[in-house]
Structure 1
Amino acid sequence: MTDKAALYDVIRKPIITEKATMASEANAVVFEVAIDSTKPIIKEAIETLFGVKVKAVNTTITKGKVKRFRGKPGVRKDVKKAYVTLEEGNTIDVTTGL
């Protein structure tokens, strides 16, 4: 899976929240990833796109909430997040963009 366009399909966007900022103190970065991506694919994508060494990848799936839209019930999409822990000395600056 060396096609760069396919790697950008795996990594959707960085997540910048208070919890993600706290994780960055432990040398971790949080990304929204494709729902069907696996940990090895996420690791390869991060290492190829950013040129860093990945120590570990932890993932979590947040189920979409049921919300009302114009009086009718709708469901938000499910979101998969990847907490990527980097090796010592490696950093990713998510504030500048890809």
Structure 2
Amino acid sequence: MNQVRLMQILRTPHISEKALRVADNQRQFVFKVMPNATKPEIKQAVELLFKVKVEQVQTVRVKGKQKNFGRIKGKRSDWKKAYVKLQEGFDINFRGSE
């Protein structure tokens, strides 16, 4: 796998109440990923960037909402998120050295 592509697959960690709940209860972390990323690519990217072992990857396509901007109708972009479950004994700390 091309390392340049693997470095581009993960966009940002997705932080929400649900994401924090699954991180605490099920060792799953949620990431915004490229729309054309595959599950094996996401697994390799997480293992490369965070030096952890991934047990399972689940992906979800999130449809963008219809929004009104004054009198102009618009639509937010569709995006893809990945739920990454880590093997026992591994963890990702996004806070750094707190």
Identity %: 44
In structure 1, the gaps of 5 or more residues are none
Which residue identity is paired with 1:87? Q
Q: Is 1:51 paired with 2:51?
A: yes
In structure 2, the gaps of 5 or more residues are none
Shift of 1:20: 0.4
Q: Which runs of 4+ in 1 moved over 6 A?
A: none
1:15-66 CA-partner distances (Å, limit 9, x unpaired): 1111001111211110000111010000010001111000000011110111
**Residue of structure 2 equivalent to 1:69:** 69
Distance 2:87 2:53 in 1: 6
What is the count of residue pairs matched by the alignment? 95
Matches within 5 A, 1:71-90: 71-90=71-90
CA RMSD of aligned residues (A): 1.2
**Residue of structure 1 equivalent to 2:22:** 23
**Residue of structure 1 equivalent to 2:38:** 38
Distance 1:76 1:30 in 2: 20
